[in-house]
Structure 1
Amino acid sequence: MQPFVHLHSHTEFSLLDGISRLPDMVRRAKELNQPALAITDHGNMYAAIYFYKECIAQGVKPIIGCEVYVTENSRFDRPEGRSRERLKHLILLAETMEGYRNLVKIVSKASTEGMLYRPRADRDLLRQYSKGIIALSACIQGEIPQYILQDNMEGAKRSIEWYIETYGKDNFFLEIQNHGLPEEAKAQEELIKLSKEYGLGIVASNDFHYVLKEDADAQDIKVCIST
Structure 2
Amino acid sequence: MENYLTSKINRFIPLRNYTQYSLSKGALKINELIDFCKKENVPAAAITDFNNLFGSLEFCIECKKLGIQPIVGLNLSVRTKGFKDGNILLLCKNEIGYRNLVNLVTKAYLDNSDSNTPVVSLHQVINCKDGLICLAGGINGIITKNFEENLICQIN
User: TM-score interval w.r.t. the shorter chain?
Assistant: 0.7 to 0.9
* 1:22 match: 30
Within 1, Cα distance between the matches of 2:78 and 2:38? 33
After superposition, residues 44-193 of structure 1 pair within 5 angstroms as 44-73=52-81, 87-114=85-112, 116-150=115-149, 152=150, 155-159=151-155, 162=156
Q: Residue 125 of structure 1 aligns to which amino acid in structure 2?
A: Q
> Following TM superposition, by how much is the alpha carbon of 1:118 offset from its aligned partner in structure 2, in angstroms?
1.1
Q: What is the identity percentage for the equivalent residue pairs of Structure 1 and Structure 2?
A: 29
Identify unmatched segments of 5+ residues in structure 1: 74-84, 163-227
Q: Residue 102 of structure 2 aligns to which amino acid in structure 1?
A: V
> Following TM superposition, by how much is the alpha carbon of 1:59 offset from its aligned partner in structure 2, in angstroms?
1.3
Identify unmatched segments of 5+ residues in structure 2: 1-6
Matching of residue 32 in structure 1 with residue 64 in structure 2: no
Query: 3-state DSSP class of the match of 2:35?
Result: helix
CA contact (8 A) 2:87 2:140 kept: yes
Describe the shift of the 1:124–1:149 C-alpha distance in structure 2 as closer, same or farther (beyond 3 A): closer
Q: Residue 28 of structure 1 aligns to which amino acid in structure 2?
A: F
* 2:3 match: none
Within 1, Cα distance between the matches of 2:72 and 2:44? 11
Q: Residue 12 of structure 1 aligns to which amino acid in structure 2?
A: Q
- From 6, 13, 16, the equivalent of 2:21 is 13
Within 2, Cα distance between the matches of 1:102 and 1:30? 29
> Following TM superposition, by how much is the alpha carbon of 1:43 offset from its aligned partner in structure 2, in angstroms?
0.4
CA RMSD of aligned residues (A): 2.0
Within 2, Cα distance between the matches of 1:63 and 1:130? 16
> Following TM superposition, by how much is the alpha carbon of 1:158 offset from its aligned partner in structure 2, in angstroms?
4.7
Task: List, as ranges, runs of 4+ consecutive aligned residues in structure 1 with deviation greater than 4 Å.
Answer: none
CA contact (8 A) 2:84 2:145 kept: no
> Following TM superposition, by how much is the alpha carbon of 1:147 offset from its aligned partner in structure 2, in angstroms?
2.6
> Following TM superposition, by how much is the alpha carbon of 1:46 offset from its aligned partner in structure 2, in angstroms?
0.6
Q: Residue 126 of structure 2 aligns to which amino acid in structure 1?
A: R
CA contact (8 A) 2:85 2:145 kept: no
Count of matched residue pairs: 147
CA contact (8 A) 2:84 2:142 kept: no
Within 2, Cα distance between the matches of 1:92 and 1:29? 21
Query: 3-state DSSP class of the match of 1:19?
Result: coil
CA contact (8 A) 2:94 2:131 kept: yes
Within 2, Cα distance between the matches of 1:4 and 1:158? 34
Higher RCO (C-alpha under 8 Å, 6+ residues apart): 1
